[in-house]
A and B are shown apart, each in its own frame.
Chain A
Amino acid sequence: MKITKVTLAAVLALTVAFTSCKPKDADIEKAVQAKETTGITVSVKDGVATLTGEVADNAAKAKAVELAKAEKGVKDVVNNLTVPAPVAVTPPPASMTTPMDAGAMQKVSDGLKDIKGITVDFAGDKAVISGEVTSANRMKIMQILAAAKVKSDVSKLMDKK
């Protein structure tokens, strides 16, 4: 009889412990959820808070964990939060914003110096090339202009016969 009593008491105690535990988890969950930013889902089981969802960055992640830890009754925090992968941004072509200045003109003149039979003038934002060239040199000229990020006017550049 003694054993039965003890067992009964133990079962009773456990039941009380469990039943008193359950609403507590739910309460903690509610409290933590209220503190966290939208997008984060909180679930609490046996005092362990699990955070899921996506946050903006690692700082937001750390902050979310800190908030959960600070809540009374939270024994531990499982951090399942994710941060979006960084999006690779390719900058627009630099030539779009390169001004036609003395430096650019100098680069064009420097490059074209050794190509015989042509003259270069600058009009507005363009290098105006005139004269006669071989097709190989024509390509070289265009490459030199592109490297200097200078627009071209080769309407007066003729093919060497």
Chain B
Amino acid sequence: MALQDKYAALVQSATNMGVANLAVAEKDGVLHVSGTAKSTADYDALWAQYAQLDPNMASGDLMMNIDIKANSGAQLKVTTDATNLNIRSTPSTEGEIVGKAAHDEVVTLIEKTDDSWWKVRTAQGEEGYAYAQYLSPL
């Protein structure tokens, strides 16, 4: 229960934000939290709170598997540091590069293939898979 207490404020925030399908469970010294945040802002706020509750997120005792609500057709902003985001033929870096999206460019979500890879379409009409962590639903 100690972990539930440590992250109680975080879970409370998620509840207040209306994170959908919020689930919390503890297993083998790790607190697992999953659900779907309504917006990128909510998602960022939850991660900021995690960093605050567990400095440097170094304890490895929280698995915050929260995604952001985005339906097919949603607009996604490319949030790479400065570089281009590769669009690939398959959901893996082994997939051939079929297109590129620039930093801050907006692409369209076709399908959430899994939590790590999303299928997108660029403004130029290139379609393929991009790493989800570098895409933020607008």
**Is there a chain A Cβ closer than 8 Å to B8's Cβ?**
no
The reply on A144 being an interface residue by CB < 8 A is yes
Residue of A90, A114, A147, A154 touching B57 (CB-CB under 8 A): A154
Do B22 and A149 touch (CB < 8 A)?
A: no
Q: Assuming A90-B21, A148-B115, is B56 touching A96 (CB within 8 A)?
A: no
Which single member of B34, B50, B83 contacts A93 (CB below 8 Å)? B34
Q: How far is the CB of A51 from chain B (nearest CB, A)?
A: 37
* Smallest Cβ-Cβ distance to A152: which chain B residue: B60
Given the known A-B contacts A107-B116, A139-B57, A159-B56, are A146 and B92 also in contact in the complex, defined by CB atoms under 8 Å? Answer: no
Q: B residues within 8 A CB of A90? A: 21-23
Interface size class of A (residues with CB under 8 A): 20 to 34
Contact (A96, B115) CB under 8 Å given A106-B92, A154-B57, A159-B56: no
* CA of A96 to CA of B31, assembled, Å: 9
Q: Check: B105 CB closer than 8 A to any chain A CB.
A: no
Q: Are A111 and B116 closer than 8 Å at their CB atoms?
A: yes
Q: Does B104 contact A (CB under 8 A)?
A: no
Contacts of B131 in A (CB 8 A): 110-111
Report if A7 contacts B (CB, 8 A): no
Residues of chain B within 8 A of A91, CB atoms compared: 21, 23
B93: interface (CB < 8 Å): yes
B93:A146 contact, CB within 8 angstroms: no
Within 8 Å of chain A (Cβ to Cβ): is B3? Answer: no
Nearest Cβ distance between residue B118 and chain A, in whole angstroms?
A: 11
| Residue pair A110, B92 in contact (C-beta under 8 Å) | yes
Residue of B nearest to A104 (CB): B116
Residues of B within 8 A of A157 (CB): 56, 58
Check A93–B132 contact: CB distance below 8 A. Answer: no
B33 partner residues in chain A, CB cutoff 8 A:
93
Query: Min CB distance, B61 to chain A, in Å?
Result: 9
**1/0 per position for A105-148, CB-CB distance to B under 8 A?**
01101110110000000000010000000010011101110111
Q: Are B25 and A93 in contact (CB under 8 A)?
A: yes
A113 and B93 form a contact (CB under 8 A): yes
Cβ-closest 8 pairs across A and B:
A93-B34, A93-B32, A107-B116, A110-B93, A147-B115, A95-B63, A95-B65, A142-B57
